[in-house]
Structure 1
Amino acid sequence: MALLWSMSPASAQDAMLQRLDTTDDGRQWQAVGRIDIGGNGFCTGALIAPDLVLTAAHCLFDATTGKPVDTQNIEFLAGWRNGRATAYRWVRRAVVHPEYDYSNRIDAARVRNDIALLELHHPIAKSGVVPFQTDTQPRKHERIGLVSYARERSEAPSLQDMCQVLEQRSGVLVMSCDVDYGASGAPVFSFDDTGAPRIVSVVSAMAEIHGKKVALGASLDRPLALMRHALESGERLQDQARVEMFSTGQNRNTGAKFAVPDLD
């Protein structure tokens, strides 16, 4: 797939990242957390229910072997900041987008399916940790933001709330947000009239188009409902697209990496 568009001056001006070092800074974002994967890598995720974390599917695969990661090695650290989390939870099960295939080349088809849900062993019921609502795909040029952990800022989340959607093509959102390794799975937010954040995508990849750094993410829409159904029913869907479900007892090692796709 080729993404053909011209970047306007406004779209090239990324807002500065705000590091959320204090409790006051991060109060609204406690449901965003770092996902630690067997001590060998990390991604970003966000609660969309007290026991459900939304993230990127590629975080659940070993980058060397291509095999699924054992979920017993995955821990969600809600509100992780400077050595402490608001809540610590291990993952019980995980399910990925029905059409995601880690073995495929990293292209637009893989990016648009790069979504996963993690079911926690125990819900997070703390009053300060409020799961986010999800919403439909944002419009082109709509203001968006994201909260993420990444390389060289893994000990506290950073907020960027003034980037925008540059393009939508074949289920892929191209965004002006600033991302780096570790930001995989970071929630992308739109803001309603009251300013309340709603998750509209998760960060899948970073790329460079016309010499400008961009972030790529998948649209949530119907696949999120399918994945929730798969977890609730405890069964793979038979009559619809295949849903992969992982439980404890599978492969132990991981090297979660941030994908850098070839967009041509």
Structure 2
Amino acid sequence: MKLTRLFLCLVLIPAVSHAAPLSREHKILFFGKDDRVLTKPNKMPWQAVGQLETRSQNICTGTLVAPDVVLTAGHCFLDDKGRMDKAISFTVGLWGNEYEEQSRITDVYVDKAFLKGLIRRKDGVYIPPAIAPRDFAFVRLAKALGVQQGVIPVFAGNSAQLKQLLNERKWTITQGGYPVDDQRHLRVHNHCQATALRADGRLTHRCDTLEGNSGSPIFAIDGQGRATIVAVQSSAPPASRRKLEDNMSVSAPVFSQALRDFIARKTPQSAK
């Protein structure tokens, strides 16, 4: 059984004026070369993409899918022992030392089957394949941030309909987030390649992601520039397996109904 070790969240470091130099291991994680571009979050869909922070200062990327609800990855709220790590804040429009808006977090939903199925070892926390498709989370904010910026729609169809959409887009997707080499600026990989939609609902792809990109949106963008979330970034293989494996995300049909239920529900349902 092949296990995925949690490593795409990272500890927040003090703000720096320039991007940190990439390590050799990080460079190997790219598919050929680094195709990411710096993108100011001053227009849609990037106005809705922001940075999440937990009590232990882990950071991930998330996307506004309702004025007060953020979509991200489930493992973003785990500490290094697999315990729930309290969510603190979500920030949109982050660019250097400035940002547009920020809200504290009042509620987090992580799939209970995901939490129960984690394998905890002395060297870290591992996600077995059986629960990997459950690596998603929803966050409720104390105040609405998506009033002026807007929110991004999530694909609402089933897996067959998603595959049809991907075929129409020639399996071209776009991904963006706040990675380890530049935690204060959005970096986007436009027109990267989705490679397969697995039977368990995971979407594999070759967008250039690093730590910090956990929970980042995988967009399908139409000819008019309108973006739809088709998946949420979950994990990437270690550098040693880059030529053998693609990055892994969880496709929208897996979590879209649970997300709709969470948006409609106003009482806290945090995972324990």
Give TM-score, length-normalised by structure 2: 0.73
**Paired residue secondary structure (1:154):** coil
Which residue identity is paired with 2:226?
A
1:214 offset after TM fit, Å?
2.9
- 1:76 equivalent to 2:90? Answer yes
CA 1:231/1:120 → structure 2, altered by over 3 Å: closer, same or farther? same
SS in structure 1 opposite 2:98? Answer: coil
- After superposition, the Cα gap between the structure-2 partners of 1:235 and 1:37, relative to the gap in structure 1 and judged at 3 Å, is closer
C-alpha distance in structure 2 between counterparts of 1:108 and 1:62, whole Å: 20
SS at match of 2:264: helix
Kindly provide the CA deviation profile for residues 164-185 of structure 1, in whole angstroms up to 9, marking residues without a partner as x.
Answer: 1111222111101011111100
The answer (yes or no) to whether the contact 1:187–1:202 under 8 Å persists in 2 is yes
Return the match for 2:178 from 137, 149, 160.
149
Is 1:245 aligned to residue 270 of structure 2? Answer: yes
2:228 equivalent to 1:198? yes
Q: Is the 8 A contact 2:201 2:253 kept in 1?
A: no
The corresponding residue for 2:123 is: none
Provide the residue aligned with 1:240 in structure 2: none
Counterpart of 2:250 in structure 1 is 218
Runs of 4+ that moved beyond 4 A = 12-15
CA distance in 1, matches of 2:133, 2:105: 24
Identity of aligned residues (%): 23
* TM-aligned CA deviation for residue 40 of structure 1: 2.1
**Structure 2: how far apart are the matches of 1:198 and 1:230?**
19
Q: Is the 8 A contact 2:74 2:110 kept in 1?
A: yes
1:32 and 1:78 in contact (8 A); partners too? yes
Query: For the aligned residues, what is the CA RMSD?
Result: 2.6
More helix per residue: 1 or 2?
Answer: 2
Aligned match of 2:188: 159
Deviation, 1:144, is 0.1
- Does 1:103 pair with 2:118? yes
Instruction: Report how many aligned residue pairs link the two structures.
Output: 224
Does structure 1 residue 19 correspond to structure 2 residue 35? no
Amino acid of the residue matched to residue 164 of structure 1?
Q
Q: Which SS does the other structure have where 2:185 is aligned?
A: strand
Q: How big is the shift at 1:15?
A: 6.8
Residue 134 of structure 2 is aligned to residue 120 of structure 1: no
